[in-house]
Structure 1
Amino acid sequence: MGIAKQAASLRAARTSASIQTYSPAGTIKCDGVRLFRSQAARDVACLLDVNPSVTSWQCMPHPFDVDGIVHVADYQVFNEDGSILFMDAPDRARSVDIQLLDDEAIRRDARYRLLGRTEVYDGFRLRNARDLLRYAYATTPLGDRLRLLSALDEHGSLPLAECLKAFQETKPVPGIAALILHGYVEVDLDDAPLGPETTVRRISR
């Protein structure tokens, strides 16, 4: 299949995705245009944004051409260790065998994964990621950031409710969410919904 047909398939996929909007709207690590094929695909992107091993991700990357069939993955994911992963959300209907997609990814010095539904929807990580990404566009003023990081340096860790008291220049919840999303502090996203008792720790830089 020629380059022109691949480009046409990619344009069609992106045009189809562009007519829908899925929540939450904000992203942290998306490199390029934000186009989501479905809510399930959007949910996967939420998990990518809170995965510390992911440096960036792109929506609907250059298509695979497998035996004349074009497949546009939901994401191309770039990891801290330099590896690249092509990824599809669990609702993805495929017309190409997974092994063939994996072989094509290997040809590009990458890997391919079709996520299972339990990987996305089991536990609390997605719920917490979606809550945090409501504040994806928030910023934390320097004064508030210094006050909180100094308190964490002194105490080692603090409950989330105590951390909120450090914010004097901006609203506390957007402020702490921004610091979590941008890697200044960390919380456990897996054990329970974020709450007043959630432990906050500083991330060493």
Structure 2
Amino acid sequence: MTTFVAHAAGDEACDLPISYRSRFPSHTTKCRGRTLYRSQEASDYACLLEVDPMVVHWRCVTQPVVNDSPALKPRHRYVDFAVRTSDERNLLVDIWHGIPETITWLPAVAERLGYRYQAVSIFDLNPVRVQNARDLVRYAGWQATLGDRVRILAGLEEEGALTLAECLGAVRESRPMASIASMILMGLLEVDLDEALLGPDTAIRAARS
């Protein structure tokens, strides 16, 4: 991934102070570096990055992207994430609290840094997926035991699909929900996160290779 080196704007270049705070999630599987978020919506999007199978890794961007113009005080924009995807795309993701505005200079500057600028409105976030992602990411860092992984994957190979309740019942060596959640976060199991909140009847399948 191209290293993100923004033209760092000093405090004198900022019209308003930007406050990055440590929020949930602080423990992740794909984040590189510190987890500092500008807003609740940004932290929600971080959870979505964690459950997106196309995301290889991501990190929080805490320096502004600055327009490379000769102006004394060049324009700048804070974005939220630098994301690397499995199809080798590098994205600068900017979470907006409303409809994204057009910033004419930003896509070109992002491209010169080796990224594609992507503006995301909070209205684009599926609240069901957000809640499911938040619930799963609480278990980031946990690892299911080998025995439990083998039992669950063997059962799925035989049945094709099992309910979440049935998968929980197959866990014998560790914490059931933590083990299933960790296997989903690791990409070993697939589950529909968009239609309904996770529950006992949620269908679980082995991830397609």
Q: Flag whether TM exceeds 0.5 (same fold).
A: yes
The CA deviation string for residues 67-112 of structure 1, in whole angstroms up to 9 with x for no partner, is 4123231111101111111011123899x95232112122233211
Equivalent position to 1:16, from 13, 16, 19: 19
For the residue of structure 2 that corresponds to 1:98, the secondary structure is coil
Match of 1:6 in 2: 8
Match of 1:156 in 2: 160
For residues 183 and 47 of structure 1, the distance between their equivalents in structure 2, rounded to whole angstroms, comes to: 14
Match of 1:117 in 2: 122
Contact 2:25 2:138 survives alignment (8 Å): yes
Equivalent position to 1:188, from 183, 188, 192: 192
For residues 4 and 35 of structure 1, the distance between their equivalents in structure 2, rounded to whole angstroms, comes to: 17
Equivalent position to 1:141, from 145, 162, 165: 145
After TM superposition, give the deviation of residue 7 of structure 1 in Å.
6.0
For residues 158 and 5 of structure 1, the distance between their equivalents in structure 2, rounded to whole angstroms, comes to: 51
TM-score w.r.t. length of structure 2: 0.84
Match of 2:47 in 1: 46
Over the aligned positions, Cα root-mean-square deviation in angstroms equals 2.7
After TM superposition, give the deviation of residue 138 of structure 1 in Å.
1.4
Contact 1:139 1:175 survives alignment (8 Å): yes
Greater Cα offset, 97-106 or 137-146 = 97-106
For the residue of structure 2 that corresponds to 1:200, the secondary structure is strand
After TM superposition, give the deviation of residue 21 of structure 1 in Å.
3.0
Match of 2:57 in 1: 56
Contact 1:21 1:36 survives alignment (8 Å): yes
**AA matched with 1:118:** F
Contact 2:79 2:94 survives alignment (8 Å): yes
Question: Structure 1 residues 4 and 37 mapped into 2: Cα distance closer, same or farther (>3 Å)?
Answer: closer
Match of 2:179 in 1: 175
* Runs of at least 5 residues in structure 2 that lack an aligned partner in the other structure: none
For the residue of structure 1 that corresponds to 2:177, the secondary structure is helix
**AA matched with 2:111:** I
Q: Does 1:108 align with 2:110?
A: no
After TM superposition, give the deviation of residue 22 of structure 1 in Å.
1.9
TM-score w.r.t. length of structure 1: 0.86
Question: Structure 1 residues 4 and 98 mapped into 2: Cα distance closer, same or farther (>3 Å)?
Answer: closer
Contact 1:55 1:79 survives alignment (8 Å): yes
Question: Structure 1 residues 178 and 14 mapped into 2: Cα distance closer, same or farther (>3 Å)?
Answer: farther
Contact 2:98 2:122 survives alignment (8 Å): no
After TM superposition, give the deviation of residue 37 of structure 1 in Å.
1.2
For residues 137 and 165 of structure 1, the distance between their equivalents in structure 2, rounded to whole angstroms, comes to: 21
Q: Does 1:203 align with 2:207?
A: yes
List structure 1 segments (4+ residues) > 3 angstroms apart after TM superposition: 12-16
Between the two proteins, the alignment pairs up a number of residues equal to: 197
